[in-house]
Structure 1
Amino acid sequence: MTEEEKIFLKKIGANIAKLRKAKGFSQLDLCSIIKMEKPNLSSIENGRQNVTSLTLLKISEAIGVEVISFFE
């Protein structure tokens, strides 16, 4: 993975974490809703895991935001 790709994933992950917290969800809350293990969500939010488009959709629906907001 290139450095640019790592930076991209970290930005998306940071946006997911920021929006999740702003909506009042803990990682455990969100994981329970979308049926994901906490270490996987943590890896996504820290930019260590490449998140799939379907996972982005599940997260956005669970916390009540548009998928596009993860990229802003």
Structure 2
Amino acid sequence: MITVEEKYLKSLGKNISRMRRLNNFSQLDICAIISMEKSNLSSIENGRQNPTTLTLKKIADAIGVEVKDFFNFD
């Protein structure tokens, strides 16, 4: 059974991935901009890793969105 925390991280990761793709960035593009390993970004986008607020800020800045946009769960 999936926990509330796992569901939350999956939703967050899905939003990050969606916004990244909507703004025409690959994972490699973002990783190059913020000096992150692709495996780490992939883990975040798949809900397997809980990113720090600083990491979320770096990703948002690289994509050109606000951090709060990642938390718009529908």
Partner of 1:10: 10
Q: After TM superposition, where is structure 1 displaced by more than 6 Å over at least 4 residues in a row?
A: none
Partner of 2:66: 66
Identity within the alignment, % = 61
Specify every segment of 5 or more residues in structure 2 that has no aligned partner in the other structure, as ranges.
Answer: none
RMSD: 0.9
In 2, distance between residues paired with 1:60 and 1:27? Answer: 13
In 1, distance between residues paired with 2:30 and 2:55? Answer: 12
In 1, distance between residues paired with 2:63 and 2:33? Answer: 9
- What do the CA deviations read for 1:38-71 (whole angstroms, capped 9, x no partner)? 0000000000000100000000000100000000
Q: If the length of structure 1 is used for normalisation, what is the TM-score?
A: 0.96
Q: If the length of structure 2 is used for normalisation, what is the TM-score?
A: 0.94
Specify every segment of 5 or more residues in structure 1 that has no aligned partner in the other structure, as ranges.
Answer: none
